[in-house]
Amino acid sequence: MDAFFTSESPLESVNKTCARLGIKPGERLLVVRIGTATLQFFARGVLVQSYVISTSKRPPSNLKDSLGTPRGLHEIAERIGAGQPPGMVYRSRVPTGRHYSELPDAGTHENLITGRILWLRGLEPGVNRGGNVDTYARYVYIHGTNHEDRIGEPLSSGCVLMRNREIVELSEQVRTGDHVLIVD
């Protein structure tokens, strides 16, 4: 049974999924809980920090073009933006040199990609990796937003949104290859 349909703890789910996939669980783990709009950061099985987040305005979905937040076990494929100030706007994963507050339509603009980018890659073939369910090919990130006042409500087109200072803080504590479990 997939991790997002069980009642076991996230750590148990990750351990079972890793065993099934033949990969070693890492020291750091992010657990995204869509239903409670939270992201928990664990290090060596101990909760380090919990954040309020936003996920998709649409129901969770791993399907291409669904715009739903994908479930299951992922890894951080790329960390983008180290050294940039909080609130930096990115286009095609490249910093624009402008803070979102410098943009005349920032308040009315859909979600901008700001702060930092943690680009996710699915680890479960047929669930969130490959074919029409590939999280990485869908460009699903954990990133900051220009709508920090709306964090906690469904807001994105599939990504996990955080406050800019918090994504900067989190990005400095995680590494490429760290696991991310997304559950209902």
pLDDT digits (tens, 9 = 90+) for 11-46: 899 999 999 999 999 999 999 999 999 999 999 999
108 by Cβ neighbours in 10 Å (0-12 / 13-18 / 19+) ranks as: exposed
Calpha distance 153→94 (Å, rounded): 27
For residue 8, what pLDDT band results from cuts at 50, 70 and 90?
confident
The DSSP element (H or E) to which 132 belongs, if any, is none
Give the residue-averaged pLDDT of 78-103: 95
Give the residue-averaged pLDDT of 73-84: 97
What pLDDT sits at residue 6?
Answer: 53
Residue 167 has pLDDT above 90, yes or no: yes
What pLDDT sits at residue 10?
Answer: 85
Asked whether the beta carbons of 168 and 116 are under 8 A apart, the reply is: yes
For tokens 């992201």, name the residue: 39
| Measured CA angle at 153 (ends 150, 154), to 5 deg | 115
The two structure tokens encoding residue 136:
């990485």
For residue 164, count other CB atoms closer than 10 A to its CB.
Answer: 21
Calpha distance 94→50 (Å, rounded): 28
Return the CATH number of 3-183, one of 2.40.440.10, 2.130.10.10, 2.40.50.140, 3.40.50.1820: 2.40.440.10
Give the residue-averaged pLDDT of 149-170: 97
What pLDDT sits at residue 3?
Answer: 46
Residue 5 has pLDDT above 70, yes or no: no
